[in-house]
Amino acid sequence: MTDDVKDANRIDSVELFLAHALTLENEAADGYQEIGDSMAVHNNPEVAGLFLQMCKYGRMHADEVRELATGLDLPHIPPWEYSWEDGESPESASMDKMHYMMQPAQALALAMKAERQAHAFYAGVAASTANPRVRELAQQFAAEESEHVRLLGEWIAKYPPADDNWDYDPDPPAMPE
């Protein structure tokens, strides 16, 4: 959902591109952090660990982008005016898919989806930009994202798929207030 349908993905300045990349990585990390914390609060340490790990990677990437941006004056863009495909930054694993009993394979599948979207975003920019430097950076980032996708694939393979009853909780919910 976006308010203004833009010429999606068309980014022609390095500053604008890095601003997008920085936000993408930051929001990815923030999102993973939030989900990881939430899983920890809900006594799902294994999945919490996975997301917090993802968060760490996200923070690293953000640092990398920040480094690339040193010396440049990145524009401020309000969250709703980024050139994201659907209004939300592509690598955010959305909280609404989460479940307190979710199993690692499911968590990683969600992360995979986010990484794929990030890849698609960078690849899209690379394909559409008129600025060669932007294209170069976008291609580089897209390559990194495909590497993440590959790594995640390997990671997923290590976990059994969730069983049919994975979300079965025999107990009633609590009523804290």
Partner 1 sequence: MSGDTVSIAISGAGGAGVMTAAQMLLDAAAKAGFYGLMARSSGPQIRGGEVAAFLRLGSRPVECLDDRFDVMVALDWLNVERFAGEIVLDGASVVLCDADAGEAPERIRASGAQLVPLPLQETVKNLPGGRMNMLGLGLLTGLTGLPEDVVGGVVAKGLKKRGQEVLDAGLAGVRAGMALVAASEVPACRLGSSPPAVAPRWNISGNEAAGLGCIRGGIRFVAAYPITPATEILEWLAPSLEKVGGVLVQAEDELASINMIIGGSFGGTPALTATSGPGLALMMESIGLAVASETPIVVIDVMRGGPSTGIPTKSEQSDLNIALYGLHGDAPHIVTAARSIADCQFTAQWSVHLAEQLQVPVIVLTDQSLGQSRAIVDRPADLAFIGRREMPVAGVTGYQRYALTASGVSPMAIPGIPGGEYIADGLEHAVSGRPSSGNEDHSAQLDKRARKLELFDYGDHWADVEGDGPLAIVTLGSCSGPVREACARAKALGIATRLISLRLLAPAQEDRFAKALEGADRVLVVEQTHSKQFYRYLRAHYDLPRDLKVLSRPGPLPIRPGEVFDCIKAWS
Partner 2 sequence: MTALAQTPALTAAAYKSDYRPVWCPGCGHYSVLSSLTKALAELGLQRENVAVISGIGCSSRIPAYTSVYGFHSVHGRALPVATGLKVARPDLTVVVAGGDGDGYSIGGNHFLHACRRNVDLTYLVMDNQVYGMTKGQASPTTPADWDRSKLTPHGTGVSPFHPLAVALAAGANFIARCYAGDPNGTARVITEAVRHPGFSMVQILSQCVTYQPSQKEWKTTVRKADVTTTRDAVRAARWLMADDGLSTGVLYIGHRPIYRPELQASCSVDDLESGFVV
Residue ranges that bind partner 1, judged by CB under 8 A: 41-45, 100-101, 163, 165, 169-177
Distance of closest approach, residue 99 Cβ to partner 2, in angstroms? 6
Q: Which is nearer to partner 2, 11 or 35 (CB)?
A: 35
Say what the alpha-carbon torsion angle 2, 79, 126, 115 is, to the nearest 10 degrees: -90
Cβ distance 28 to 92 under 8 Å?
yes
**Is 122 exposed, middle or buried, given 0-12, 13-18 or 19+ CB atoms closer than 10 A?**
buried
Cβ distance 121 to 63 under 8 Å?
no
Q: Which does 102 bind (CB under 5 to 8 A by kind): partner 1, partner 2, none?
A: partner 2
**Is 118 exposed, middle or buried, given 0-12, 13-18 or 19+ CB atoms closer than 10 A?**
buried
Distance of closest approach, residue 108 Cβ to partner 1, in angstroms? 19
Residue labelled with tokens 């599948």: 109
Taking residue 126's Cβ as centre, other Cβ atoms within 10 Å add up to 21
> Could you list the residues that contact partner 2 (CB under 8 A)?
1-3, 30, 34-35, 37-42, 76-82, 84, 87-88, 94-100, 102, 172-173, 175-177
Q: CA 133, CA 23: separation in Å to the nearest integer?
A: 19
Q: Which does 4 bind (CB under 5 to 8 A by kind): partner 1, partner 2, none?
A: none
Q: Which does 5 bind (CB under 5 to 8 A by kind): partner 2, partner 1, none?
A: none
Distance of closest approach, residue 102 Cβ to partner 1, in angstroms? 10
Helix (H) or strand (E) holding 130: none
Q: Which is nearer to partner 1, 70 or 165 (CB)?
A: 165
Distance of closest approach, residue 51 Cβ to partner 1, in angstroms? 15
Q: Which does 45 bind (CB under 5 to 8 A by kind): partner 1, partner 2, none?
A: partner 1
